[in-house]
Structure 1
Amino acid sequence: MSKLEKAYALLIGIAYEDGLNTIGDAEDIATILTDETICGYPFENVLLLTGKKADRNGILNAFKTLQEKTDEHSSVFIFYSGHGGVFEETFHFVPHGMKDGMTEEEYKAAWVTADEIKESINALQTKRLIFFLDCCHATGIAKSGISANRNAGATSVEEKQDTSQKFTKAEGLAQKIDNERGISIVASCKEDQESYQLGDDRNSLFTKYLLQALNGHHQTHFEEPYVRILEVAGYLLRIIPQTIKDVAAQQDPPLTIKQEPYVNLEMYDNFILSQVPEKLRKRLELDELQASQIENSKGAPEAKTIFRESPDANNLLLFIHGFTGEASATFGDIPEMLINDPKMNGWDMKPFGYSQYVTPEMGKDVWAGIEDVDRIANNLCTSVKYKYDKYDRIAIVAHSLGGLIAQRAILDFKKEYRTKISHLILLGTPSAGISPLKLKKIWNGKYNEMSSEGHFIRTLRKDWNELFQKEYPFTLKVVAAIDDEFVDMDSCYGPFESEHHIAIEGNHFSMVKPKTENDDGYILIQSTLTNSEFYQQYTNSEEVNIALGKYDKVVKKLLPEKDRLDQKGLKQLIFGLEGLDRRDEAFQILNEHPKAQVDTDLMGIIGGRYKRAYLKFPSKNDGEAAFVYYELALEQSTAKENYDQMYYHAINLAFLSIVVENDKEKMRHYANIALDACEKCGDNLWKFATLAEANMYLGQLDLAKKFYKKAADIAGIREKISIHLNAYAGYTSLMQTNSLKDDFIQFLHEKFLS
Structure 2
Amino acid sequence: MIEPNCKKIGVVFIHGFTGNTDTWINSRGERFSEMLLTEDQINKEFQFFEFDYYTQVIDVFKSAAVQNLKKLLNKIPFVSFDTKIQKNKPIRYLSNLLNTYLRTELDDFDEVILVAHSMGGLIAKDHILNYVPGEGPKPIGYISMAVPHKGSIGALLLAPTANTNAKEMQPLSEYSDGINSEWTERKDELPKCVYLIATYDECVPEVSSLPYRVKTSDKFTLNHDHTSICKPESKKDLSFKRVKKFLEEISYEKTMTSVASLEYSGDENNFNKEIFVIKLILSEIGEMGVADAKASFFHAEIISKAARRDDKEHLADLQIKVLSLYRQAYNSNRTKPADEIFNAVHKELRDQDEKLLACGVKYINFMHKGGLLHQLANKNDRTIIWDKDITDDSIRDMMS
Relative to the length of structure 1, the TM-score reads 0.33
**From 179, 183, 189, the counterpart of 1:464:** 183
TM-superposed CA distance for 1:463, in Å, is 3.1
Aligned AA for 1:616?
A: A
Total equivalences in the alignment: 291
Q: Tell me, what secondary structure is at the counterpart of 2:178? A: helix
Q: Match of 2:94, as an amino acid?
A: I
CA distance, structure 2, for counterparts of residue 431 and residue 476 of structure 1:
13
Alpha-carbon distance between aligned partners in 2 of 1:384 and 1:402, rounded to the nearest angstrom: 15
Deviations 1:169-213 (A, max 9, x none): xxxxxxxxxxxxxxxxxxxxxxxxxxxxxxxxxxxxxxxxxxxxx
Partner of 2:128: 410
Q: Which among 323, 331, 336 is matched to residue 17 of structure 2?
A: 323
**Residue pair 2:11, 2:49 contacting (<8 A) in 1 also:** yes
- How far 1:517 moved relative to its partner? 1.4
What letter matches 2:45 in structure 1? G
Maintained 8 Å contact 2:14/2:114: yes
1:335 aligns with 2:55: no
Change (3 A) 1:503 1:628: same
CA distance in 1, matches of 2:391, 2:372: 11
Look up the SS of the partner of 2:33 in the other structure: helix
Deviation readout 1:530-561 (Å, 9 max, x if unpaired):
127x85xxxxxxxx86x46x759xxxxxxxxx
Q: Does 1:379 align with 2:77?
A: no
**1:283-432 alignment to 2 at 5 Å?**
313-327=7-21, 329-332=23-26, 333-344=31-42, 345-354=44-53, 358=54, 360=56, 362=58, 371-417=89-135, 420-432=138-150
Partner Cα distance (1:320, 1:334) in 2: 12
The CA distance in 1 between the partners of 2:13 and 2:328, in whole Å, is 49
Please report how far the alpha carbon of residue 417 of structure 1 lies from its aligned counterpart in structure 2 after TM superposition: 4.6
Equivalences for residues 56-135 of structure 1 within 5 A: none
**1:493 maps to which residue?**
210
Query: Would you say the 8 A contact 1:614–1:622 is kept in 2?
Result: no
Q: Which has the larger radius of gyration?
A: 1
Give the superposition deviation at 1:656. Answer: 4.0
Instruction: Report the Cα offset of residue 464 of structure 1.
Output: 2.4
Q: CA deviation at 1:634?
A: 10
Is the CA contact (8 Å cut-off) linking 1:654 and 1:670 kept in structure 2?
A: no
Whether contact under 8 Å (1:477, 1:501) holds in the other structure is yes
CA 1:402–1:614 in 2, change beyond 3 Å: closer, same or farther? closer
Per-residue CA deviation, residues 249-274 of structure 1 (Å, 9 max, x unaligned), is xxxxxxxxxxxxxxxxxxxxxxxxxx
Specify which of 513, 520, 524 is matched with residue 238 of structure 2. Answer: 520
Shift of 1:617: 4.6
Secondary structure of 1:422 counterpart? strand
The residue type equivalent to 1:317 in the other structure is V
Q: What's the offset of the Cα at 1:529?
A: 1.6
- Looking at structure 2, the residues matched to 329 and 666 of structure 1 have their Cα atoms a distance apart, in angstroms, of 71
**Displacement after TM superposition at 1:618 (Å):** 8.6
AA matched with 1:376: L
Alignment counterpart, residue 451 of structure 1, candidates 170, 187, 197: 170
Q: Which has the higher contact order (CA 8 A, sep 6+)?
A: 2
| 1:682-734 Cα deviation digits (max 9, x unpaired) | xxxxxxxxxxxxxxxx7xxxxxxxxxxxxxxxxxxxxxxxxxxxxxxxxxxxx
1:444 CA drift (Å)? 5.4
Q: Secondary structure at the match of 1:394?
A: strand
Pairwise CA distance, 1:454: 2.0
In 2, Cα distance between equivalents of 1:339 and 1:347:
8
C-alpha separation in 1, matches of 2:295 and 2:328: 10
* CA deviation after TM superposition for structure 1 residue 473, in Å: 3.7
Indicate how the Cα distance of structure 1 residues 666 and 509 shifts in structure 2: closer, same or farther if over 3 A, else same: farther
Secondary structure of 2:200's counterpart equals coil
Corresponding residue SS for 1:524: helix
Query: Match of 2:68?
Result: none
Counterpart position of 1:434 = 152
Maintained 8 Å contact 1:432/1:495:
no
Cα displacement (A) at 1:338: 1.2
Kindly indicate whether the alpha-carbon contact (under 8 Å) linking 1:439 and 1:445 is maintained by their aligned counterparts in 2.
no
Query: What amino acid does structure 1 have at the position aligned with 2:316?
Result: K
Instruction: Evaluate the alpha carbon distance shift between residue 392 and residue 444 of structure 1 in structure 2; reply closer, same or farther with a 3 A threshold.
Output: closer
The whole-number CA distance in structure 1 between the counterparts of 2:395 and 2:159 is 79
Q: Which amino acid aligns with 2:49?
A: K
Partner Cα separation in structure 1 for residue 17 and residue 231 of structure 2? 16
Aligned-pair Cα RMSD in Å: 4.8
Q: Within 1, Cα distance between the matches of 2:371 and 2:172?
A: 61
Task: Output the TM-score relative to the length of structure 2.
Answer: 0.57
Residue pairs, 1:250-265, within 5 angstroms: none
Secondary structure of the residue aligned to 1:530 is helix
Structure 1 counterpart of 2:35, one-letter code: M
Please say if 1:616 is aligned against 2:297: no
**Could you tell me which residue of structure 2 aligns to residue 531 of structure 1?**
249
The 1-side partners of 2:372 and 2:122 are apart by: 55
Where does residue 292 of structure 2 map in the other structure? 601
Q: Secondary structure at the match of 1:433?
A: coil
Q: How far, CA to CA, are the matches of 1:510 and 1:615 in structure 2?
A: 41
SS of the equivalent of 1:349 reads strand
Q: Structure 1: which amino acid aligns with 2:168?
A: E
Deviations 1:327-350 (A, max 9, x none): 355254321221111221211111
Aligned partner of 1:342: which letter?
D
Q: Which residues of structure 1 form unaligned runs of 5+?
A: 1-311, 536-543, 553-570, 576-597, 637-644, 676-697, 699-754
Counterparts of 2:201 and 2:151, CA distance in 1 = 15
SS at match of 2:234: coil
AA at the equivalent of 1:315: I
Mapped contact 1:428–1:487 kept (Cα < 8 A)? yes
SS state at 2:379 partner: helix
Q: Is the CA contact 2:92–2:123 (under 8 Å) kept in the aligned structure 1?
A: yes
Residues 518/329 of structure 1: CA separation in 2 closer, same or farther (3 Å cut) = same
How far, CA to CA, are the matches of 2:397 and 2:183 in structure 1? Answer: 58
Q: In the superposition, relative to structure 1, how do residues 615 and 378 fare at CA in structure 2: closer, same or farther (>3 Å)?
A: closer
Q: 1:426 to 1:653 in 2, by over 3 A?
A: closer
- The 1:670–1:528 alpha-carbon spacing in structure 2 relative to 1, beyond 3 Å, is farther
What secondary structure is seen at the aligned counterpart in 1 of 2:202?
A: coil
CA deviation after TM superposition for structure 1 residue 672, in Å: 7.7
CA contact (8 A) 2:111 2:139 kept: yes
Kept in 1, the 8 Å contact 2:183–2:211? The answer is no
Q: CA deviation at 1:601?
A: 3.2
Q: Deviation of residue 377 (structure 1)?
A: 1.1
Name the structure 1 match of 2:75.
none
Counterpart CA distance in 2 for 1:614 and 1:632 is 30
Letter in 1 for 2:10: L
Identity of aligned residues (%): 19
